[in-house]
Amino acid sequence: MPTASPDSIAANQAGVRALQTGNWEEACNAFTAATSLAPALATFWNNLGFSYLQSHRLPEAHAALNKAIELDSEEVDAYFNLALCHEAAGDLPQAHERCAQFLQRQPTDRPAYEMLVSEPPPISWTPR
């Protein structure tokens, strides 16, 4: 199992604090530092992906979240965050697929279940 250095842990903690205050750019910078210092830790990549998602930097979020899953296929939150990333990009089939993968690992998560079973609202059209 990969280990984290004290510096990488400090960078990750700084990123968490930045996320908690809504400072997405600072979070991205801190998690980028954490992944540079500990590139084999999937949790740090998931955190980076989530901060990119919050910053609406979807390509970067997608790459970081996929890296988290590549490093550790049981990094459960990365699947849900990747589902949110696909949803934000308008790719609902991929969002549902990633959500289903998350639920295979975390079957009692209600928000993920609701996301998976939700249908997009019908398009309303009024003839003229």
Identify the CATH number of the domain in which residue 104 sits: 1.25.40.10
Q: Is residue 1 part of a domain?
A: no
Q: Out of 16-30, 48-62, 89-103, which region has the weakest mean confidence (pLDDT)?
A: 89-103
Q: Using CB atoms within 10 A of its CB, is residue 23 exposed (0-12), middle (13-18) or buried (19+)?
A: middle
Note whether residue 16 is domain-resident: yes
When divided into structural domains, the chain yields a total of 1
User: Is residue 89 situated within a structural domain?
Assistant: yes
Residue 126 within any structural domain of the chain? no
Question: Please, are residues 99 and 112 in contact by the beta-carbon 8 Å criterion?
Answer: yes
pTM strictly above 0.95:
no
- Whether residue 13 lies inside any domain: the answer is yes
Residue 25 lies in a domain: yes
Determine the structural domain holding residue 13 and report its residue range. Answer: 6-117
Is residue 29 pLDDT above 70, yes or no?
yes
The mean pLDDT value for 67-85 works out to: 94
For residue 28, tell me if it sits in a domain.
yes
Average pLDDT over residues 23-33: 97
Q: How confident is the model at residue 124 (pLDDT cuts 50, 70, 90)?
A: very low
